[in-house]
């Protein structure tokens, strides 16, 4: 059965980082065109952070406002911006996710993935603790994208778009990563953003593939949701029952003039809650 996708907003460059807060406000970015936006439940779209480019990930902060990636990791609240984490040797950070303690896990992006020229150096995955300390957990990520955890917190998933696969790691009680493996090699599109549901299945946006793919915890393809776009960039769950699936894209096949768009559909399994950031 083909899902019904509701168009929520369009006319952007590359929509990324969809995240819904407790009041039903949908935050998202335009990674290429610049800016972070908020769509109110009434449908109005407001600018939260003007012009900022390269924002690939957004988290809701426990004290209000949002945490965003880009040239650094920043907490934006009521028009004020506080830098949380920056590395002089890292030109930017892409997708991010939060753990149960409110820490932020984010991948470094060593060059503009759309720029022509030599291949960029691989990036790393960083964990920023609620106390503000940060550490690099591992490297050798060709192009960092979606990040998520299994329901019991013992498994980490991380999209590497350049290599066409999602990395898997075992996590211990201290957040240390081990037993690196390829969770799944995607077909028909590069793995971009991802989200995990209550059954432990991983929903992966396939950039260039026109769909979101759901994989079981053992890496088997369960289903593909065809999206009215080819450049499917990111996914997240929301709604009162967390069965609303938000899909961010870089195009819109139904109306090309809308360019980068964000859609919503309903699915039969609730997504895991996204913990609030406390950094």
In the chain, how many domains are there? Answer: 1
Average pLDDT of 158-165? Answer: 98
Q: Is residue 1 part of a domain?
A: no
Average pLDDT of 93-118? Answer: 90
In the predicted structure, residue 103 carries a pLDDT above the cut 60: yes
Q: Give the containing element (helix H, strand E) for 238.
A: strand 232-238
In the predicted structure, residue 111 carries a pLDDT above the cut 90: no
Give CA–CA dist 77/98, Å, rounded.
18
Contact, 62 vs 22, CB < 8 A? no
Average pLDDT of 206-212? Answer: 98
Q: Is residue 279 part of a domain?
A: no
Quickly list DSSP for 22-33.
TT-PEEEEETTT
Q: From start to end of 142-231, where are the E strands?
A: 144-149, 155-160, 165-171, 177-185, 190-196, 202-207, 211-215, 221-226
Residues 6+ apart with CB under 8 A from 55: 16, 17, 29, 30, 31, 36, 49, 68, 69, 70
In the predicted structure, residue 129 carries a pLDDT above the cut 70: yes
Q: Is residue 87 part of a domain?
A: yes
Secondary structure (3-state) at 36: strand
Averaged confidence pLDDT in the chain: 96
The two three-digit tokens of residue 275, written as one number:
């913990």
pLDDT in tens, 73-86: 999 999 999 999 99
Q: What is the pLDDT of residue 2?
A: 64
Q: What is the pLDDT of residue 150?
A: 98
pLDDT in tens, 243-258: 999 999 999 999 999 9
Beta sheet of 202-207, edge-to-edge order = 190-196, 202-207, 211-215, 221-226
φ/ψ (deg, to 5) at 161: -65, -35
Q: Is residue 62 part of a domain?
A: yes
Q: Is residue 89 part of a domain?
A: yes
- 180/119: higher pLDDT: 180
Q: What is the pLDDT of residue 179?
A: 97
Quote the Cα angle for 94-145-248, to 5°.
90
Give the helix, strand, coil percentages of the chain, each rounded to 5. 0, 55, 45
CATH of the domain at 240: 2.120.10.30
Q: Which domain holds residue 75?
A: 6-266
DSSP state of 142: S
Q: What is the pLDDT of residue 3?
A: 77
Query: pLDDT over 90 for what percent of the chain?
Result: 93
Q: What is the pLDDT of residue 121?
A: 87
In the predicted structure, residue 9 carries a pLDDT above the cut 60: yes
Q: Is residue 271 part of a domain?
A: no
b/e for 173-195, b at 16 or more Cβ within 10 A? eebebeeeeebbebeebbbbbbb
Q: What is the pLDDT of residue 114?
A: 73
Average pLDDT of 146-170? Answer: 98
pLDDT classification of 138: cutoffs 50, 70, 90: very high
Average pLDDT of 164-191? Answer: 96
Give CA–CA dist 180/169, Å, rounded.
5
Q: Is residue 275 part of a domain?
A: no
Catalytic residues: 192
Give CA–CA dist 116/93, Å, rounded.
19
pLDDT classification of 113: cutoffs 50, 70, 90: confident
Q: Is residue 259 part of a domain?
A: yes
pLDDT in tens, 46-75: 999 999 999 999 999 999 999 999 999 999
Q: What is the pLDDT of residue 190?
A: 98
φ/ψ (deg, to 5) at 272: -65, 145
């Amino acid at each position: 059965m083909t899902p019904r996708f509701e168009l929520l907003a369009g006319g952007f460059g590359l929509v990324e980082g969809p995240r819904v807060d407790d009041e039903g406000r949908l935050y998202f970015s335009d990674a290429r065109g610049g800016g972070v936006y908020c769509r109110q439940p009434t449908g109005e779209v407001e600018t939260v952070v003007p012009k900022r480019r390269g924002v690939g990930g957004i988290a809701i902060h426990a004290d209000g406002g949002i945490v965003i990636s880009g040239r650094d990791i920043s907490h934006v609240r009521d028009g004020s911006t506080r830098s949380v984490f920056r590395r002089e040797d890292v030109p930017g950070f892409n997708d991010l996710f939060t753990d149960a303690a409110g820490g932020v896990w984010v991948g470094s992006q060593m060059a503009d993935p759309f720029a022509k020229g030599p291949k960029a150096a691989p990036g790393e995955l960083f964990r920023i603790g609620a106390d503000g300390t940060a550490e690099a957990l591992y490297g050798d990520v060709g192009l960092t994208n979606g990040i998520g955890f299994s329901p019991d917190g013992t498994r980490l998933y991380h999209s590497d778009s350049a290599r066409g696969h999602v990395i898997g790691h075992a996590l211990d009680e201290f957040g240390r990563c081990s037993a690196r493996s390829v969770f799944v090699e995607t077909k028909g599109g590069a793995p971009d953003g991802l989200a995990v549901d209550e059954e432990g299945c991983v929903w992966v946006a396939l950039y260039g593939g026109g769909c979101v793919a759901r994989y079981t915890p053992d890496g088997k393809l369960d289903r593909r949701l065809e999206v009215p776009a080819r450049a499917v960039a990111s996914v997240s769950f929301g709604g009162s029952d967390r069965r609303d699936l938000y899909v961010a894209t870089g195009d819109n096949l139904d109306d090309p003039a809308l360019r980068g768009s964000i859609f919503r559909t309903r699915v039969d399994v609730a997504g895991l809650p996204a913990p609030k950031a406390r950094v």
